[in-house]
Structure 1
Amino acid sequence: MFRERNATESNRQRGVCRRQLLRGAAVGALATGVPTAAGASAGDTTDGFPPACHTAYGDTARLGGGEVRTFTAETAEGRPRYHGVEFDREAVTGPLPSADELAADRTGESPTYDDKYSATGEARSVHRRESLQFFIPLPGADGTPFTFVGLNWNPDGHPGGGGAWARPHFDVHFHMLGTDTIDAIRGPDHAPYDAIQPEQIPSGYRRSPPSAAAERYITDMGEHLAPADAPELPGTPEAFTNTLVQGFVGVDGEPELAFVEPMLTREFLRGFEGTERYGVPQPAVYPHDGRHPTAYSVRADPDDGTLTVALEGFEAV
C-alpha cells in the first residue's frame, strides 16, 4: 500500500509514451471560476494530453464501468507541468454505487469497499454522508508540494453552503501533506486551531460562518474554504457544476493551506466535451517554497474516451 510521499520507480515508469494524440487551439485569459474557450492549455503541444513521453502514471482505481489513474507530467527540462486525474469515460457514465449500497457495504460482514488505498476504495461516512473514497499516489511529485490524490464519489453530495453541494459529485483533493497526516483527521468537528490569517487565505475565499464551526473540519480532509462568488452559494444546488475549493489542515496546532480541490458534479462530467481552463486563486503567503498551480483544467478526449482534471500553470512561490 502507498504510504510515502512519492510513488515507486516502477510507477514513475508506467505509462511513458502511452499515447500520441493531437490537440490544438489556444485558450483565452484565465478568470477565477470562469472557463476559457475550449482548446488546449497554454504550452500544450502536439504530443497529446497528457504529453506523451513526459508523463508518469500512478496507481489505478476501479470506478463505475472504468478506471481512474493519477499522472504527473513534466516539461522536457524536468519542470512540473501537470498533476492530474484521468477518468475513463465509463468511470463517470457507468453504474456507480448508491448511498444505500455504500452504507450496506460499510456495515456488512464481507465488504467490497474496505480499503481506500486499494483499487476498489473504501466506503466511508464523510461530511455525514456516504462516500466512496480512494487515496491514490501522485507519481514523480518532486518539485511541487503535492503528494497524493484523495478521490471521493459522493452519491448524495455532502452538506455545506446551505445545501449547495447536495448533488451527486466527485471531489478531487490534490493534497500537500502525507497520507499519514490526512488519514489521522477525524470530523466533522471544530478545527484544531482558531484563526486563519487573511494572508494565508486564497483571494476571494472565505471560511464557513461561526455557526457552522463544529462542521468545519472533515474526516480525511481538513477544513474547506469556498469562493464567495460560487454560483451555488448560498443554497442553490441546481447551479452547482464545477467549483474549486481549497483547504487547511492543522500542523503542530497551526493552520496550513494543504489541499486544492476541484468538485465536479457527475452530470457536468457526463456531458463534458472539449477543454475548459480555470484560475486557481492564490494566497499572499504560502506554506511551502515549491511551485504552486495557477490554473486547473477539465478536458475530454474524443480519441481515447477519457476525461482529465489537472492542476497546471505551476509557478515558483
Structure 2
Amino acid sequence: MDTTHTLEENDGRPSRRRFLRAIPVAAAGLGTSGLGSASDTSDLDRKGEFLPGITKWGDHVRLGNGRARSFTTGTRSGGPTHHGLYIERAVLDGLPSAGDLEAAGESRYSDKYGPTGRALPIHHRWSQEFFLPLPASTATPFTFLGVNWNPAGHPPVWSAPHLDIHFHMLPAATVDAITGPTAPSYELPAEYLPGGFVRSPVVDERVITDMGEHLVDPTVPEMNGGTFTNTLIWGASDPDGDGTAELTFVEPMLTREYLRAHSGTESRPIAQPTTYARAGTYPTRYSVRDVPGADAIAITIDSFESFEGDA
C-alpha cells in the first residue's frame, strides 16, 4: 500500500562533517535523484496522510493495544526523505510489564521477526523486541528497525519506561548475531565519533545484544541529574571483523510519558562524525511528529545528505 504525504523539512546544516550536495542515489521503487538543500514545506495534514512524496509501508506488528509499522518515504523524483516508525497512540496503553515479559517469555513473545516480537533480557532488563524491515531503503544504508519496548528502562540513567528505535545500517542477520553485554574487541577511530559523543566508560558493557556498541552525548539532561524524556544514541560495531569499528545504527530513545504528551512536531539535529567509514546518504535530523487525524505518532530520521567516506 502506498500513501503520499508531506513532512516538514529544514535547511539547517550540522557542522563537523564532510558532505557532497549532489551525489546521485538509486532507490528501489523510488528512482534516482541528486540530493540538494531541503526547503520548508507544510507539516502533516489533518487526515494523517503524508504529502507530497511516496511512502512504502512495512507490515503491521502488535504493540500494546495498537499497531506499529516501519515506512520509507521518497520524493517523486526519487530522493530519500524519511525512514520511520509509525505507531498508533493505542500502542502506548496495554504494554506488557517486565514481569509479564519474563513470565510469558517465548510462549507468547517468541519471534523478533514476527507480529508480537520476542521477550528477552537486554541491558539487564526485560524487553519486547522487534526487527522490522525498512521498505525501499536502497537509497540509504539503512536496512531495518530494531524496536524495543523497555518497561523497566535500563541502566545507567534511562530507567523510565521507554521505546528504543534503532535505525540499523547492517543486515538483520549480522545484528542478530551480536551478543552482550561485553567489551568491544576493536578500535573506533576518533574521526568516526559523532561530534560531542563519547564511548561509554563501562568498557565491559559497551556492546549490547542485538544492537552493538552504544555511544552517548554526555551533555544530555539525564546524564547530568535531569529527567530523561527524548534522547539520541549513536551505535557502532565491526561488521568486517577487521579490528576497526564504524557507525552502524542511530537510535532515538523516547519515554512513554513523553510520547503520551507529545503534540505538534519536534525535530533535533543528529550529530555527525568528521567522516564516515563509507560514503553514503545519512540523516542529519530526527523528528517526532503527531499525526492527529490518525491518532498516531511518526518517529523519523530525515534531512538526508550525501557524505564522503573513507571507502
TM-score, scaled to structure 2: 0.85
Gaps of 5+ in 1: 1-13, 33-40
Offset of 1:191 from its aligned partner?
1.1
Offset of 1:77 from its aligned partner?
1.0
Q: 1:184 aligns with which of 159, 177, 184?
A: 177
Question: Residue 195 of structure 2 aligns to which amino acid in structure 1?
Answer: S
How many pairs does the alignment contain?
Answer: 280
* Native 8 Å contact 2:290 2:297 kept in 1: yes
SS in 1 for 2:194: coil
What whole-Å deviation, never above 9, does each CA across 1:187-227 have from its counterpart, x for those lacking one? Answer: 0011121x311101000000111xx1111110000010111
Question: Residue 217 of structure 1 aligns to which amino acid in structure 2?
Answer: V
Q: Spell out the pairing of 1:193-232 with structure 2 (5 A cutoff).
A: 193=186, 195-209=187-201, 212-232=202-222
Taking the aligned partners of 2:53 and 2:304, their CA distance within structure 1 comes to 19
* Native 8 Å contact 2:3 2:50 kept in 1: no
- Say yes or no: does 1:44 pair with 2:41: yes
- Say yes or no: does 1:292 pair with 2:272: no
Q: After TM superposition, which residue ranges in structure 1, 4 or more long, deviate above 2 angstroms?
A: 26-32, 41-53
Residue matched to 2:248 = 258
SS in 2 for 1:294: strand
Residue matched to 2:107 = 111
Q: Spell out the pairing of 1:89-104 with structure 2 (5 A cutoff).
A: 89-92=89-92, 94-104=93-103
Residue matched to 1:167 = 160
Residue matched to 2:75 = 75
SS in 2 for 1:220: coil
Summarize the Cα distance change of 1:64–1:52 in structure 2 as closer, same or farther, 3 Å threshold: farther
Taking the aligned partners of 1:265 and 1:169, their CA distance within structure 2 comes to 4
Residue matched to 2:229 = 241
TM-score, scaled to structure 1: 0.83
Taking the aligned partners of 1:226 and 1:74, their CA distance within structure 2 comes to 30
Residue matched to 1:270 = 260
Taking the aligned partners of 2:7 and 2:280, their CA distance within structure 1 comes to 29
Offset of 1:277 from its aligned partner?
0.6
Taking the aligned partners of 1:88 and 1:30, their CA distance within structure 2 comes to 31
* Native 8 Å contact 1:202 1:282 kept in 2: yes
Offset of 1:142 from its aligned partner?
1.2
* Native 8 Å contact 2:56 2:71 kept in 1: yes
What whole-Å deviation, never above 9, does each CA across 1:214-247 have from its counterpart, x for those lacking one? Answer: 111100000101112111004x3x5100000001
Taking the aligned partners of 1:207 and 1:248, their CA distance within structure 2 comes to 10
Gaps of 5+ in 2: 16-37
Question: Residue 229 of structure 1 aligns to which amino acid in structure 2?
Answer: T
Offset of 1:117 from its aligned partner?
0.1
SS in 1 for 2:257: helix
Superposition RMSD on alpha carbons, in Å? 2.2
Residue matched to 1:280 = 270
Residue matched to 1:35 = none
* Native 8 Å contact 2:53 2:76 kept in 1: no
Q: Percent of counterpart pairs with the same letter?
A: 43
Residue matched to 1:301 = 291
- Say yes or no: does 1:134 pair with 2:126: no
Taking the aligned partners of 1:190 and 1:184, their CA distance within structure 2 comes to 15
SS in 2 for 1:100: helix
Offset of 1:52 from its aligned partner?
5.5
Question: Residue 44 of structure 1 aligns to which amino acid in structure 2?
Answer: T
Offset of 1:17 from its aligned partner?
2.7
Taking the aligned partners of 2:98 and 2:213, their CA distance within structure 1 comes to 23
Taking the aligned partners of 1:308 and 1:77, their CA distance within structure 2 comes to 23
* Native 8 Å contact 1:31 1:278 kept in 2: no
- Say yes or no: does 1:143 pair with 2:139: yes
Residue matched to 2:32 = none
Offset of 1:170 from its aligned partner?
0.3
Residue matched to 1:11 = none
Taking the aligned partners of 2:52 and 2:136, their CA distance within structure 1 comes to 15
Taking the aligned partners of 1:115 and 1:301, their CA distance within structure 2 comes to 29
SS in 1 for 2:129: strand
Taking the aligned partners of 2:246 and 2:50, their CA distance within structure 1 comes to 30
